[in-house]
């Protein structure tokens, strides 16, 4: 696949997932959220059809594809009005990290379940006092015999209540240098000392957000992804592990872009349908350029964002982590901006109807902002591009 054109297999995948999404749709997701439930039926069916693990290795039950394929799945479900946020976390982040850095036993234990959806995994990196500065992560792990003991806090962690385990980013002391190096630990949901508190969010989503506390959480040696810092992340300087971790987070940026593009497409489709049918004077309102042009602009911006997302997925799947990092950040930025504008224009097109439950757009006003904020703010992306790409002095 080139980063510009899709293969016949990708087109077929897109069509098949779109058909699945159409059978569930926005009404299904709205009902699930209203009842405080989870989209278990959609998740299970998507898993059985092979869509959830399309990016994971075939030898462990996956589809053998990459983030390019998984982003298609999320985008099309989003365009149908029923996106699965845990796709970003469980197979894209956790599945990718374990497939790339895990031991053989960890791969056998987790990847088949992550592939077919029978097991899920959350991801914990954000901390209350660290924010976008992952260098300030204070969750630490110390050796106690053959065990690891973790202490720390995490915040805004999605889906912990339904996940079988959470992949926690902590820091261990390097025996050779004495400095702290990042490492990843698989923490089962019911581990003693692993507490969670749901955060009250003004966001309509089936996936809940949690604050986590790790109080003397004792884990066996094999809970460390890769079996050890040097084995998992390679040797190098003090921040070698952190750089590898960021390379593993590129899929999160790509998948967030897919989430945003799908949401933007859903909103735009609702607005176009309305503008085509709604007649106030002699012609449908979509015949007026004041309505038609902003919708056309929203479509253009979503398509441009998708091109950058496809480029980022192509680079990541090709193994070019450095180039993928730049492209993934740009894709996430472009998609977030395009999504917010598409949703805003869709609501504006419908006028008062855009704020009714019947049309299902008003809740997207808040949801669209997530793609601007998480997993990294647009301002930090602009910092990254100005410093890393343009070579301007670092401001932070």
- Give the chain's domain count: 3
82 phi, psi to nearest 5 deg: -135, 60
Torsion, Cα 77 78 79 80, to 10 degrees, reads 50
Q: Are 185 and 148 in contact (CB under 8 A)?
A: yes
pLDDT computed for residue 180 by the predictor: 74
Are 324 and 228 members of one domain? no
Joined together, the tokens standing for residue 298 give 């929203």
Give 296's DSSP letter.
Answer: H
Per-residue confidence band for 187, with pLDDT thresholds at 50, 70 and 90? very high
Of the candidate ranges 21-30, 116-125, 222-231, 351-360, the one whose mean pLDDT is the lowest:
222-231
Together in a domain, 108 and 174: no
95 and 182 part of one domain: no
State pTM to two decimals.
Answer: 0.93
Contact 304, 334 (CB under 8 A): yes
Yes or no: say if 326 and 389 are a contact pair by the CB < 8 Å rule: yes
Q: Can you give the residue range of the structural domain that contains 18?
A: 8-119
- Tell whether 101 is covered by a domain: yes
At 348 the pLDDT is 97
Assess whether 269 and 188 both reside in one domain. Answer: no
| Residue 2, in any domain of the structure | no
Identify whether 395 is part of a domain. Answer: no
Q: What is the pLDDT of residue 183?
A: 87
Cα–Cα distance measured from residue 183 to residue 321, given in angstroms and rounded to the nearest whole number: 19
Task: Please indicate, yes or no, whether residues 150 and 260 belong to a single structural domain of this protein.
Answer: no
Tens digits of residue pLDDT in 316-355: 999 998 899 999 999 999 999 999 999 999 999 999 999 9
**Are both 143 and 72 inside the same structural domain?**
no
Assess whether 370 and 271 both reside in one domain. Answer: yes
Residues 6+ apart with CB under 8 A from 252: 88, 89, 92, 93, 375
Query: Which of 135-139, 236-240, 368-372 is the least confident region?
Result: 236-240
Question: Do 111 and 146 fall into the same domain?
Answer: no
Task: Note the pLDDT of residue 131.
Answer: 66
Average predicted confidence (pLDDT) for the chain? 92
CATH assignment of the domain containing 281: 1.20.140.10
Classify residue 355 by its DSSP letter: G
Residue 238: the pLDDT is 34
396 belongs to a structural domain: no
Instruction: Say which CATH number the domain at 48 has.
Output: 1.10.540.10
For the stretch 86-109, pLDDT in tens is 999 999 999 999 999 899 999 999
Q: SS3 of 210, please?
A: strand
Say how far apart CA 255 and CA 69 lie, in whole Å.
10
Asked if 209 and 303 sit in the same domain, the reply is: no
- Sign, CA dihedral 237-385-311-245, equals positive
Domain termination site, one of 119, 135, 156: 119
Mind spelling out the 3-state secondary structure of 20-41? HHHHHHHHHHHHHHHCCCCCHH
Say which residues have a Cβ less than 8 Å from residue 80's Cβ, sequence separation at least 6.
18, 20, 21, 22, 24, 25, 26, 262, 266
Q: Tell me: do 249 and 338 sit in the same domain.
A: yes
d(CA 246, CA 179): 19
CA distances from 32 to 29, 163, 189, 329 (A): 5, 18, 23, 31
Q: Write out pLDDT tens, residues 221-271.
A: 999 998 754 443 343 333 435 655 765 799 999 999 999 999 999 999 999
- Residue 74 domain flag: yes
- Domain edge (last residue) among 190, 211, 237: 237
Q: By C-alpha distance, which of 295, 300, 301, 325 is closest to 311? A: 325
Is 206 part of a structural domain of the chain? yes
Which residue spans within 285-389 are E strands per DSSP? none
Of 57, 121, 46, whose CA–CA distance to 83 is shortest? 46
Q: What's the CATH number where 175 sits?
A: 2.40.110.10
Same domain, 274 and 355: yes
Residue 1 pLDDT greater than 70, yes or no: no
Residues 195 and 69 in one domain: no
Last residue of a domain, one of 170, 204, 237: 237
CA distances from 394 to 383, 386, 388, 389 (A): 8, 8, 9, 11
């Amino acid at each position: 696949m080139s980063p510009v054109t899709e293969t016949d297999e990708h087109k077929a995948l897109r069509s098949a997932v779109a058909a699945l999404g159409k059978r569930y749709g926005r009404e299904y997701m709205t009902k699930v959220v209203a009842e405080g439930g989870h989209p278990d039926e959609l998740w299970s069916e998507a898993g059985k059809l092979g869509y959830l693990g399309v990016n994971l290795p075939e030898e462990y039950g996956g589809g053998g594809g990459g983030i390019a394929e998984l982003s298609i799945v999320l985008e099309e479900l989003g365009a149908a009005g029923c996106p699965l946020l845990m796709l970003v976390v469980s197979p894209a982040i956790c599945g990718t990290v374990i497939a790339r850095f895990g031991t053989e036993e960890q791969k056998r234990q987790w990847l088949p379940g992550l592939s077919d959806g029978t097991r899920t995994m959350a991801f914990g990196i954000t901390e209350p006092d660290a924010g976008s500065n992952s260098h300030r992560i204070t969750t630490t792990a110390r050796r106690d015999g053959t065990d690891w003991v973790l202490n720390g806090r995490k915040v805004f962690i999605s889906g912990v209540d339904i996940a079988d385990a959470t992949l926690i980013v902590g820091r261990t002391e390097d025996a050779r240098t004495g400095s702290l190096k990042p490492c990843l630990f698989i923490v089962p949901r019911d581990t003693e000392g692993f507490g969670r508190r749901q955060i009250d969010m003004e966001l309509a989503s089936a996936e809940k957000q949690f604050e986590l506390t790790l109080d003397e959480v004792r884990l066996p040696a094999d809970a460390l992804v890769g079996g050890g810092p040097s084995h998992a992340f390679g040797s190098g300087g003090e921040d070698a592990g952190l750089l590898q971790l960021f390379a593993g987070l590129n899929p999160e940026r790509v998948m967030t872009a897919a989430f945003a593009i799908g949401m933007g497409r859903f909103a735009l489709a609702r607005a176009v349908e309305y503008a085509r049918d709604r007649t106030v004077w002699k012609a449908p309102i979509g015949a007026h350029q004041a309505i038609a042009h902003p919708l056309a602009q929203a479509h253009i911006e979503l398509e441009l964002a998708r091109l950058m997302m496809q480029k980022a997925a192509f680079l990541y799947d090709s193994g070019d982590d450095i180039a993928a990092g730049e492209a993934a950040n740009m894709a996430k930025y472009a998609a977030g901006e395009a999504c917010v504008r598409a949703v805003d224009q869709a609501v504006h097109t419908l006028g008062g109807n855009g704020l009714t439950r019947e049309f299902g757009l008003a809740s997207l006003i808040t949801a669209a902002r997530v793609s601007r904020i998480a997993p990294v703010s647009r301002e930090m992306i602009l910092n990254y591009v100005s410093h890393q790409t343009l070579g301007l002095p670092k401001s932070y």
